[in-house]
Amino acid sequence: MEETQPFESNVIAYPAITTISNSININKPTKIYTIKNLEKLNLIISSDQYEEIRITQNKINWFSDDLIPIEHLKYFNSIENEGFKIGIGVATGSDKIFISETFDDFIEQELLLPIITSKELKKNTFTESKKKIINPFTSDGKLINLSQFPKAKKYLLDNKSILSKRHIAKKNPIFWFKTIDKIKPSLRLENKILLPDISGNKVLFIDEGKYYPHHNLYYITGKGLKTLKVLAAILMSDFSMKQLLTIGNKMNGGYPRWQSQNLRKLRIPIIENFNKEYKDCIASAYDNFDPEKLNRIITLENILKNSSEKGQIALFEPTVEYKK
């Protein structure tokens, strides 16, 4: 129902109505209706305006059967199994207090980190962020001693009444000034693909070690910058987008959700198996932001042509027999 508005107020949502029945017929197709007009809901469901999908017994491969035939699965793997890491940025519990563009004037510099949010990644544009976040943690993950930072201490004490109302502060009142998530300053210095949870962007941006990611951004790190560009290009392609839109919920307007649980289900080509020319071609298309070229070169046929069998591993669980 992502193409209609079932709520009284106009919101971005992804409602769905699902009916489940107990049946031993695992080959029975599932009917999927696209609902654009609530007034015609009963008429739509009683008609033949639906598409059918069949759930295979290979439970790991439900979402990729149409894109990746089972005989070619040896050339594909999950993002994390290829050596990348998927994460989400820092949640503070009170962004208005922890994040600002004016901290340079009254907070110790050693406590400040540049931070990037989804607001800087819009309309296919990466806007430089002037925002900084107060980091209440030391490099080894312990909370700072506020008495050693008089400027920060004064500012945080001035806002203690607000910070103390957060759930994280109520659980441990002694450390009322900590952020919900622990901040690891080394993450800022890593190359990372930035993925806004909900985005209409056609390009996925890479931060080359300049910013710390905010909670409304997922990120992928690992390996060198060129390999990250190849991965970003693969994720931007229709090949991956079709998987993502099938695995996860589409928001109103058809936008995908780049959530970690969806990213972990994606099956991408084993990048290490690509020949150098193919890697260079993909990385070049990414650098030049050429979506049409990406979709021409990142296809199942081209992936198979330009991959070797070196490094192939077992990707999926064996077929599971359903118990009646």
For residue 55, the model assigns a pLDDT of: 53
How is residue 97 annotated by DSSP?
H
User: 114 pLDDT band (50/70/90 cuts)?
Assistant: very high
CA 222 to CA 192: how far, in whole Å?
8
Closest residue by Cα to residue 130 from 211, 194, 203: 211
CA 115 to CA 96: how far, in whole Å?
13
Q: For residue range 16-30, list pLDDT tens digits in order.
A: 677 777 777 666 777
| pLDDT above 60 for 315 | no
For residue 217, the model assigns a pLDDT of: 95
For residue 224, the model assigns a pLDDT of: 93
Q: For residue range 125-164, list pLDDT tens digits in order.
A: 999 999 999 999 998 889 999 999 999 999 999 999 999 9
| pLDDT above 60 for 283 | yes
| pLDDT above 50 for 318 | no
Q: Which two tokens stand for residue 198?
A: 């909900």
Q: For residue range 257-273, list pLDDT tens digits in order.
A: 888 988 998 999 999 99
User: 123 pLDDT band (50/70/90 cuts)?
Assistant: confident
Angle at which helix 276-287 crosses helix 225-236, to 10 degrees, equals 70
CA 90 to CA 212: how far, in whole Å?
8
Strand order in the sheet with 212-213: 99-100, 132-134, 112-116, 212-213
Separation in Å, CA 16 to CA 1, 34, 263: 6, 10, 21
Closest residue by Cα to residue 137 from 165, 173, 111: 111
How is residue 241 annotated by DSSP?
H
CA 13 to CA 2: how far, in whole Å?
7
For residue 38, the model assigns a pLDDT of: 73
Alpha-helical runs (H) found in the chain: 41-45, 95-98, 150-158, 160-163, 167-171, 185-188, 225-236, 238-247, 260-263, 276-287, 291-297, 300-305
DSSP H/E element including 99: strand 99-100
How much is the mean pLDDT over the chain? 84
- One-letter amino acid for residue 273 of the chain: N
The residue extents of the domains of the chain are: 1-55, 62-84+222-324, 91-190
Contact 187, 88 (CB under 8 A): no
Residue 252 CB burial class (10 angstroms; 0-12, 13-18, ≥19) = middle
Q: For residue range 165-178, list pLDDT tens digits in order.
A: 999 999 999 999 99
Rg over alpha carbons for the chain, rounded to the nearest Å, is 23
Q: Which two tokens stand for residue 103?
A: 């901290």
Q: Which two tokens stand for residue 287?
A: 């650098």
Contact 258, 197 (CB under 8 A): yes
For residue 238, the model assigns a pLDDT of: 92
User: 313 pLDDT band (50/70/90 cuts)?
Assistant: very low
| pLDDT above 80 for 208 | yes
Contact 192, 207 (CB under 8 A): yes
Contact 57, 320 (CB under 8 A): yes
CA 171 to CA 182: how far, in whole Å?
15
List residues bridging with 112 in a β-sheet: 134
CA angle, 13 then 17 then 18, to 5°: 130
Closest residue by Cα to residue 195 from 218, 227, 170: 218
